[in-house]
Amino acid sequence: MTMGKPRTRRVLVTHNSIAPSAVALLNAHDIDVFFSPPYDPPEVVAARMADLQPDALMVRQGRIDASVIGGSDRLRVIVKHGVGVDNVDLEAAAARNIPVLRSLGSNALAVAEHAIALMVALLKQFPRLDTAVKAGEWPKPSFIGRDIAGARLGLIGFGAIGRETARLAGALGMSVTVYDPHAAGGVEAAGLASTDSLEALVADIDILSLHCPLTRETRDIVNAGLIARMAPRTLIVNTARGGLIDEAALAAALADGRIAGAGLDSFANEPPSADGPLWTAPNLIVTPHVGGVTAGSAVTMAETAARHIISVLDGNPPDARSLALPASLAA
């Protein structure tokens, strides 16, 4: 908690910290800031909510279920320090008339950069080459690399992150095709090719990159059937939500050489179990869901979330564009 005279309003953050500028912004608007360690079990967070009775909840990490949402009688708004809300029970929030808001656009460039970095590392086979040289091997005589320029990239989703990814990929000389039934006009306006068929998208690409929210419709959108339609050279990159991919199907495809590799920054369960099928898969690069966490994006996400909280607690209606609705998004 911040030091000094207690303020009349409170926010609980499900993490050990947020950007100091966001704390200062909240404090300046009569809001004290409390912290709850990341990934604490919901029952622990619910007890903390009951004890502190915060007016707002800023979600960074961990599962926010009905017990957490119902823990504070004073709770008026839930805001995500980021954009993905699949760890929040949206229906439980709606039942209590508590809006759930996303910090849209705050980490778009950071996540796009991470996606591009995974693509480049996979195309250039950095993990395999690094391991070989450190083991005393010298694979130069037999190695043939893949080109970045001219690589065909397929995007699922063309929101803020998808658009930034397409822009960066284009600057590197990749050709981009987009599948997003909700953004056809935006794709054309950006001068990119689009398709209304997911099967057509994956039929002739080098890289598939995921940039859509996790919804009832998109859960396991990359499954065994879709993977079977991909060429063996295909790489899969996921910097969105883990539930978009059937991880058992992906692990099997990597093990059998049916696709060339994968780069994952998110998983169906986080943290993932240490004995999952993915860990023995070849040509797999994983990172711990940190694509959106850079020095710049951390400040932007926290300040955006803080402004949402201040606005709602001051009596303004929640920003309609930032609302997460249970009808479309999966808890």
Catalytic positions are 241, 270, 289
235, 307, 306: which is closest to 58 by C-alpha?
306
Residue 209 and residue 156 in contact, taking contact as beta carbons nearer than 8 Å? yes
The tokens describing 182, both together, are 């909700």
SS3 content of the chain, % helix, strand, coil (to 5): 35, 15, 45
Structure tokens at 63: 């599962």
The answer to whether the peptide bond before residue 6 is cis (omega within 30 degrees of 0) is no
Structure tokens at 213: 């929210």
User: How far is Cα 162 from Cα 63, in angstroms, rounded to an integer?
Assistant: 26
Q: Which two tokens stand for residue 93?
A: 């929030």
CA distance 31 to 29: 6
- Which amino acid is it at 220? D
Nearest Cα neighbor of 279 from 255, 311, 308 is: 255
CA distance 187 to 67: 41
Question: Exposed e or buried b for every residue in 81-99, given b needs 16+ CB within 10 A?
Answer: bbbbbbbbbbebbbeeebb
Closest residue by Cα to residue 114 from 290, 302, 262: 290
- Give 10's strand partners: 32
Beta carbons of 114 and 165 less than 8 angstroms apart: no
- Tell me which residue of 244, 235, 238 sits closest to 214, measured CA to CA: 244
Report CA 158 to chain centroid distance, whole Å: 14
